[in-house]
Amino acid sequence: MKSFLKKFWYASRGFRFSFREQVNFRIHLAVAVLVVAAGLFFEVSRSEWLILILWMVLVLSAEMINTAIELLTDKVSPEWNETAGKIKDIAAGAVLLAVMAAVVSGLIIFLPHILHFFSFG
């Protein structure tokens, strides 16, 4: 049990580091809070909540993995080189891909609710 708690502590340190040091992580987290507020306001269904939660966690996780890759790349290759730049670009591209898919999913879920709210649908 002590080992599990220690691992949980280390993982929570990683989350706190991401929150404190990474602007993009805070932006994604703020958007997630807005998504939760919108989900509560529009009373989305259970299946819609599952999709929204999965995308929020995926985007935040991708951002944390991107941060880890960037830190490791900077440590291994402190001077600029083309390969290191490509590695960091690919990791950032993965975050962008997750964000784009999350936005599309969010539009699919929220657009009918928004249209209905404004009596357009």
The CATH number for 72's domain is 1.10.287.3610
Average pLDDT of span 71-89: 96
Cα Dmax for the chain: 57
Q: What is the pTM of this model?
A: 0.92
CA-CA distance, 68 to 61, in Å (whole number)?
11
Rg value, the chain, Cα: 18
pLDDT value at 121 more than 60? no
pLDDT at residue 120 above 70? Answer: no
Q: What pLDDT, on the 0 to 100 scale, is given for residue 2?
A: 76
C-alpha distances out from residue 109 to 21, 42, 56, Å: 32, 10, 14
User: Per mean pLDDT, which range of 3-7, 30-34, 59-63 is the poorest?
Assistant: 3-7
What confidence category does residue 28 fall into, taking pLDDT thresholds of 50, 70 and 90? very high
Domain boundaries, position 101: 2-117
**Number of domains the chain is built from:** 1
What does DSSP assign to residue 118?
Answer: T
Please list the active-site residues: 63
* Tokens 């299946």 sit on residue: 47
Average pLDDT over residues 61-70: 98
Q: 119 pLDDT band (50/70/90 cuts)?
A: confident
Taking the C-alpha atoms of residue 52 and residue 56, their distance in angstroms, rounded to an integer, is 6
